[in-house]
Structure 1
């Protein structure tokens, strides 16, 4: 008896396109998060560089540089490990349906987290870490579901709320010493604003 032929759904062109899209997103996210680990290992190997000084220092002119650099600076292995999971899961969701979604969420989260830490952080403190990005991605995904009113973004928003909502609620409250709740709040606000602007611009472009 001849063996049945196994056929994959979709055309070869469609499968190739999907594979290419997946590959591009995996590579981008791996490079993005991997660059943070590279900076962390550099800071451990060369402590005299004192890279943490490039974080956000509230209400100082030089401290504004931290808006760009703080997400790549971490105080310990536990610090960067705690942020990596959220970056990978939420960052991956932000990459769909367009890679541009990821960049607008990243820009909004970095600006929001950095500015809030700079404006409202304690004097002589230094704010570092990618947790502002994690909170920003979550805010972006939830807000995108609200603004687009489409099924898939709404389901993603519900997943984010159910999976990360409780920890994020405690993360924006000034409950724990040394926790930059200012950057967390700013990240959420920046992510929400990025989703609002992105949804509006795409609606006008239709």
Structure 2
């Protein structure tokens, strides 16, 4: 029991450090962007231009102002921390799946002459991942955690609707889709019990 608590505490420390570093990086990049006359904004995703496929990953780390990065920081920190508790290797796979799925969705469906950037697609992806992970893995504790996440952040789902022309609902929708895909792609293997060897009658040993 003591060893399990120590392992859980160690995972929490690592997950917290990773997410604080990630959010800190987002603020640092926004500071660099503002100091250089928004030079980093060119790495956002412009739809259906082949060269823009290279910007799918960088776009998830860039924002269009302090308000934009601030609105993403807290949910990213919270949802990322919870997801990272299951292990950094799995977490990295989930995040990459979300970024690629969300970025490709934006590249394919966003309106022409637009530039999409920001970590909100990752936020929606982590939300979707945590929402269904427990059902996919058949782990009751994660199901309960998903219900809590839904209760706290369920209003995020409104962001997948095209209600505001200034917000990339495509990034939200496909980010959410990427999170669900990741829950299946990185589901925990089920343990199979090894059947006990049959016991032979005493006279046949």
Tell me whether the two structures share a fold, i.e. TM-score over 0.5: yes
Match of residue 95 from structure 1: 84
Aligned-partner Cα distance in 2 for 1:151–1:14: 19
Choose from 162, 175, 194 the match for 1:187. Answer: 175
Matched residue pairs, number? 193
Match of residue 42 from structure 2: 53
Call closer, same or farther: CA 1:124–1:147 in 2, change over 3 Å: same
**1:42 and 2:32 matched:** yes
Instruction: Tell me which stretches of 4 or more aligned residues in structure 1 moved more than 2 Å.
Output: 13-23, 201-206
| Larger CA Rg, structure 1 vs 2 | 2
TM-score by length of 2: 0.87
- Please say if residues 55 and 65 of structure 1, whose CA atoms lie closer than 8 Å, have aligned partners that are also in contact: no
Q: Deviations over 1:134-172 (max 9, x none)?
A: 000001111202211211110111012111112x22100
Provide the secondary structure at the position in 2 that maps to 1:183: helix
Cα distance, 1:20 vs. partner? Answer: 2.8
Structure 2: 5+ residue stretches without partners: 194-205
Structure 1: 5+ residue stretches without partners: 1-9
Provide the secondary structure at the position in 1 that maps to 2:60: helix
TM-score by length of 1: 0.87
Aligned-partner Cα distance in 2 for 1:183–1:57: 12
Match of residue 6 from structure 1: none
- Please say if residues 112 and 188 of structure 1, whose CA atoms lie closer than 8 Å, have aligned partners that are also in contact: no
Match of residue 154 from structure 1: 143
Aligned-partner Cα distance in 1 for 2:29–2:150: 31
Aligned-partner Cα distance in 2 for 1:46–1:152: 47
Match of residue 104 from structure 1: 93
Residues 1-206 of structure 1 mapped to structure 2, 5 A cutoff: 11=2, 16-47=6-37, 50-166=39-155, 168-199=156-187, 202-203=189-190
Aligned-partner Cα distance in 2 for 1:30–1:74: 17
Output the aligned Cα RMSD. 1.9
